[in-house]
Structure 1
Amino acid sequence: MAQQILILDFGSQYTQLIARRVRELNVYCEIHPFNKVPALTPDIKGVILSGSPCSVRQENAPTVDLSLFRGKVPVLGVCYGAQLMAQQLGGSVTPSKIREYGRAKLSTVDHHNDLLKEISLDSQVWMSHGDTIEAVPDNFELIASTSSVRVAAFQIKNEKTFGIQFHPEVTHSTEGKNLLRNFVVHICNSAQDWTPDQFIETTITDLKQKLGNDQVVMALSGGVDSTVAAILVHKAIGKNLHCIFVDNGLLRKDEFTQVLESYKGMGLNIKGVDAKDKFYTALNGLTEPESKRKAIGKTFIDVFDEESHQIKDVKWLGQGTIYPDVIESAPVMGPSQTIKSHHNVGGLPEKMKLKIVEPLNTLFKDEVRLVGKTLGIDPTILGRHPFPGPGLGIRILGDINAEKVSVLQEVDAIFIGGLRKHGLYDKVWQAGAMLLPIQSVGVMGDERTYERVVALRAVSSIDGMTADWVHLPYEFLAEISNEIINKVKGVNRVVYDISSKPPATIEWE
């Protein structure tokens, strides 16, 4: 097994970011909840304790038995993790007189300490805590301070155990990556061999061993995750992988044909299924967003199950699950909130009684794209904006029919095509058009019209958890609005959505 850094999650919003920063150093790492610590094996080279929204002083605060790994491998406590170590080992943690949040500068730095090599005096760091380490045990050595935080960093004497009161994983800590490199590469002696080439080689070997001569079925969507997952499985078992691409009648204009062609060009064994009418029938009369999502999901499962039964001896269901999906399915601080039912393959394993194969379930999205690039997958697929599972079904507010889908497909094609033409597509994380359930008065020629309104949406984001609206040039929006109103029959008004997430969501339903 590959060498790795173990990250224990105490519920911080930044935990995944710590993992991504470690992976950027080409070192493999895994996140585990603080209350499910895996056994310490020789491949675990070090442990990082994450931050937390909790206080170490509160009742039932998340905790861990430090003796499981302290003194056996190097340990780095970040924020809450540092406070937990200080408190458990005899120090004191008290409420901060002023809540320390935001940028700060290191006023003292022990440059001889292995953790702080190449960290400048006055280096900017990011603080986010309501408690302060007031006193430390005698065997703690202070190695950095700020003007308001005396214990900004410490090391336990004669041990490779460290604590820092700031967050090195966020970009506001300008030399945070240097600090993580010092810990992960130099102090933990981790091999920097977590690369796309190594991942591909190992994954294909593992898939060959796991799948043997078995038949695998997989639903493809034209998106990044399912495509990269399919190519990896295909390289392992060839024609024993059976891919199915379902036209649910809610795809973008000409997407069904274009995606099928691109997949055939990759050598995939794929079947396209036109199931538009089944989806429109299931959606007939539904207006409530969750009802529409469930109807789309159920119909997809029925269609996919029916098609899969035409393939002999299928034993496995391939899925493009990625690492954030795995982490979010095992929440640290109790049950997770209800997730919108847009993962429309979610019910398949139970219904079809198949074993699951998920070749990407250790990767973050940016790593999936790097693997796809290394595999030689078309950049237009790798750079494709996220597109919701229910497709245009949640971009048509209210009831759905074929005529409304056709109108929105035309609008969407003009908008997305315009973004590509003007070199804006790759500067936007996700874009699309919404058909609103209202009509407005307009004038075309000498006639008064009473026609539909469409909203355009373009956002910037890293992972979709938060998003901001993109400031597209007024000239571009004017051109697109004019083209939509002139070319799409039934639309006489275009608006642009300038809401951020939160409080709004990226999709309207």
Structure 2
Amino acid sequence: MAEKILILDFGSQVTQLIARRIREAQVYCEIHPFNHIPEIDESVKGIILSGSPCSVRDEDSPRVDLSLFGSLPILGICYGAQLLAHQGGGSVQASGHREYGRAHMTSVKESPLLKGLSATGQVWMSHGDTIMELPSEYELIGSTETVRVAAFAHISKPIFGIQFHPEVTHSTEGSILIKNFIVGICGCAQTWTSDSFVDRTVSELQAKLGNDKVVLGLSGGVDSSVAAVLLHRAIGKNLYCIFVDNGLLRKDEFEQVLASYETLGLNVKGVNSKQRFYDALKGLTDPEDKRKAIGKTFIEVFDEEAHLIEGVSWLGQGTIYPDKIESVSLKGPSATIKSHHNVGGLPDFMKLKVVEPLDALFKDEVRLVGKTLGVPKDILGRHPFPGPGLGIRILGDITPAKVDILQKVDAIFINGLKEDGLYDQVWQAGAILLPIQSVGVMGDERTYEQVVALRAVSSVDGMTADWCHLPYEFLGRISNEIINKVKGVNRVVYDISSKPPATIEWE
């Protein structure tokens, strides 16, 4: 049984970053809502309590019974630390002012949690409450300039609390602290690697699927491609792949993707259903309505094609861990942001069991697994592309004419990034067709045509993102090329919003 760390989510916006740091140390971990704790068996080596927007002083704030964890090591982060102090009988009070930003922590007592940290290392604070007094069974181990109780430890048990966030990059030695906890204190062996994942998953898939047939919908993206190759390694010819052209793909993408899959030996059928999707989208302008129409039509097309394959009993999906977390978050304190994550999203009439071989992985881990499996670099290096495709990059209603305009604009932008060696420096890029027109002048004529926005962001896994500082010369050249070559566009703008507060996509 693989060892793991459990992270209990109390609603922090950066809980996934805790998991990322643990995975980077080659230790497996899982995130669960604080009120849906899984069985604590011998595979669990430690517990981490996340931050939260809530205050432990509120009667209805999220709580957890610490006795459930027996003698397991526990690390409370921010709200998690305040919860340890509050439930232990300490004092947590509102700060005189919100403590947010960089601080420097000084170790005041030797502790295995702080081993190897600098004397005054930089940490990141983000809290409105402060621990004023520790319970009698805890001792202070670290303070900052303004926060006396920045880190503490139980006198006799492996229980620790820290008021800062080690998971964010602004805590410059946060990864060392997390490794101290999961390796030094919890005793995890750091065996979570792409090679071990492939070996274990292939074996598990073979045992689970036997000689059953699996059908999988390919999108051309990293997740579904790696899922397909992983399933193919496990069950070979019993995997049937379907690639649906929904009319909302990038320019020439349908043909290019089908050609790339031929090199992988996958059994892939391409289905052209453009008009069916356009008909379903006719007149729809609300982003959620468009997502639902695209999802419903895809399921209908996919179901029809799946029924042409005799004896299929499983549906393969490229669901990854962030999708899964967002989809189960309704059970916990966080809100689900989008509806197009296809997690268990099957209608009853399909009657297929679901197999999701990547649902424990983050995006960068998927790429590492793909590299281990020999998936070509041009597939693994592709930017993420939204499930609804250009349907949510065309603001307002969808028409074939608008799709044609955006495909041409997007192709100029993406090809330009590749030609200038910028593509691999960008995590995700694309163009958005805005539902407005602007005045322009072309030659001696006045024009009143479409506006497009270009978007390029840097990120690790999409949870947070910053806009890319692309060279002005590049942006100027691309703008000129779009306006000169794409009929119907006379203005190009560049999106310089970061996530948060904005999102990567506009809809």
AA partner of residue 244 (structure 1):
I
Which aligned pairs between 1:237-248 and structure 2 lie closer than 5 A? 237-248=235-246
**Matched residue of 2:120: which SS?**
coil
C-alpha distance in 1, partners of 2:131/2:336? 36
How far 1:195 moved relative to its partner? 0.4
* 1:172 aligned residue: 170
Query: CA, structure 1 residues 38+280, in 2 after alignment: closer, same or farther (shift >3 Å)?
Result: closer
For residues 135 and 452 of structure 2, what CA distance do their matches in structure 1 show? 63
When residues 338 and 368 of structure 1 are mapped into structure 2, their CA distance, relative to the original with a 3 A threshold, is closer
Q: Look up the match of 2:488.
A: 490
Q: Deviations over 1:381-410 (max 9, x none)?
A: 112112122212222233333333222212
**Which residue number in structure 1 is paired with residue 206 of structure 2?**
208
The 2-side partners of 1:452 and 1:137 are apart by 63
Pick from 379, 382, 389: which aligns with 1:381?
Answer: 379
State the SS of the aligned residue for 1:330. Answer: helix
Report the alpha carbon displacement of residue 29 of structure 1 after superposing the two structures with TM: 1.0
More divergent stretch after superposition (412-421 vs 338-347)? 338-347
Give a deviation string over 1:317-367, Cα, whole Å, max 9, x none. Answer: 111111112222222775754644434686435331110001111111111
- The separation in 1 between residues aligned to 2:95 and 2:283, in whole angstroms, is 57
Query: How has the CA–CA distance of structure 1 residues 34 and 336 changed in structure 2, closer, same or farther, with 3 Å as cutoff?
Result: closer
* 1:30-49 paired onto structure 2 within 5 Å: 30-49=30-49
- 1:472 counterpart = 2:499: no
Check the 8 A contact 2:364/2:461 in 1, yes or no: no
Deviations 1:4-56 (A, max 9, x none): 11212222222211111111111111112222222321111111122221111
Amino acid at match of 2:58: Q
Within-5 A mapping of 1:80-91: 80-91=79-90
String of CA shifts for 1:435-488, please: whole Å, max 9, x gaps.
334444444444444443332222233443443332222211121122222222
Which has the higher mean CA deviation after the structures are superposed, 385-394 or 354-363?
385-394
Given that 2:391 and 2:398 are in contact with CA atoms closer than 8 Å, whether structure 1 keeps it comes out as yes
Which aligned pairs between 1:241-280 and structure 2 lie closer than 5 A? 241-280=239-278
Deviation track 1:73-102 (CA, whole Å, cap 9, x = no partner) reads: 222122222222222222222222333222
- Give structure 2 stretches of 5+ with no counterpart: none
Give the alignment of 1:90-105 within 5 angstroms: 90-105=89-104
Listed as ranges, the gaps of 5+ residues in structure 1 are: none
Q: Aligned in 2, Cα 1:127/1:332: closer, same or farther, shift over 3 Å? A: farther
Matches within 5 A, 1:19-58: 19-58=19-58
Secondary structure at the counterpart of residue 348 of structure 1: coil
CA distance change for structure 1 residues 272 and 100 in 2, over 3 Å: closer, same or farther? same
Aligned 8 A contact 2:223 2:319 in 1: yes
What SS does the corresponding residue of 1:484 show, helix, strand or coil? helix
Judging changes above 3 Å, is the alpha-carbon distance between structure 1 residues 183 and 291 closer, same or farther for their aligned structure 2 residues? closer
Instruction: Give 2:18's aligned residue.
Output: 18
- In the other structure, the counterpart of 1:290 is 288
Choose 15-24 or 490-499, whichever is displaced more.
Answer: 490-499
What CA distance in whole angstroms lies between the structure 1 residues aligned with 2:133 and 2:345? 53
Kindly provide the amino acid, as one letter, of the partner of residue 180 in structure 1: I
| Counterpart position of 1:304 | 302
Task: Give the equivalent residue in structure 2 for 1:110.
Answer: 109
Normalised by the length of structure 2, the TM-score is 0.94
CA distance in 1, matches of 2:286, 2:74: 50
Query: 1:416: Cα distance to partner?
Result: 0.5
Counterpart for residue 136 of structure 1: 134
Mapped to 2, the partners of 1:463 and 1:32 lie a distance apart of 19
Which residue is equivalent to 2:74? Answer: 75
Which shifted more, 7-16 or 357-366? 7-16
- Measured in 2, the distance between the counterparts of 1:215 and 1:369 equals 26
Q: Which amino acid aligns with 2:189?
A: A
* CA spacing shift, 1:166–1:423, aligned 2, 3 Å: same
Write the distance in 1 (CA, Å) between the matches of 2:502 and 2:137: 50
1:336 and 1:190, CA in 2 relative to 1: closer, same or farther beyond 3 A? closer
Cα distance in 2 for residues equivalent to 1:332 and 1:29: 20
Amino acid at match of 2:299: I
Q: Which moved more, 1:183-192 or 1:386-395?
A: 386-395
Name the SS for the 2:308 alignment partner: coil
CA contact (8 A) 2:315 2:355 kept: yes
Contact 2:33 2:332 in 1 (8 A): no
Report the CA distance shift for 1:502/1:66 in structure 2 as closer, same or farther (over 3 A). Answer: closer
Is this contact kept in 1: 2:151–2:163, CA < 8 A? yes
What is the deviation of 1:63? 1.3
Taking the aligned partners of 2:95 and 2:36, their CA distance within structure 1 comes to 30
Cα distance in 1 for partners of 2:291, 2:27 equals: 39
Counterpart position of 2:61 = 61
Residue deviations 1:416-450, cap 9 Å, x none?
00011111112222211223344444444444444
Q: Report if aligned partners of 1:349, 1:356 keep a CA contact under 8 Å in 2.
A: no
- TM-score under structure 1 normalisation? 0.94
**Are the counterparts in 1 of residues 327 and 336 from structure 2 also a CA contact under 8 Å?**
no
Identity of aligned residues (%): 73
Paired with 2:502 and 2:107, the residues of 1 have a C-alpha distance of: 43
**Structure 1 residues 335 and 354: CA distance shift in structure 2, 3 A:** farther
SS in 2 for 1:19: helix
Superposed CA RMSD: 2.1
1:454 maps to amino acid: V
Q: Secondary structure at the match of 2:256?
A: helix
Matches within 5 A, 1:120-199: 120-199=118-197
C-alpha distance in structure 2 between counterparts of 1:89 and 1:148, whole Å: 23
1:428 aligns with 2:426: yes
- Counterparts in 2 of 1:267 and 1:349: CA distance versus 1, 3 Å: farther
The 8 Å contact of residues 168 and 180 in structure 1, kept in 2 or not, is answered as yes
Instruction: Tell me by how many angstroms 1:290 deviates.
Output: 3.1
Question: What letter is aligned with 1:27?
Answer: V
CA contact (8 A) 2:394 2:402 kept: yes
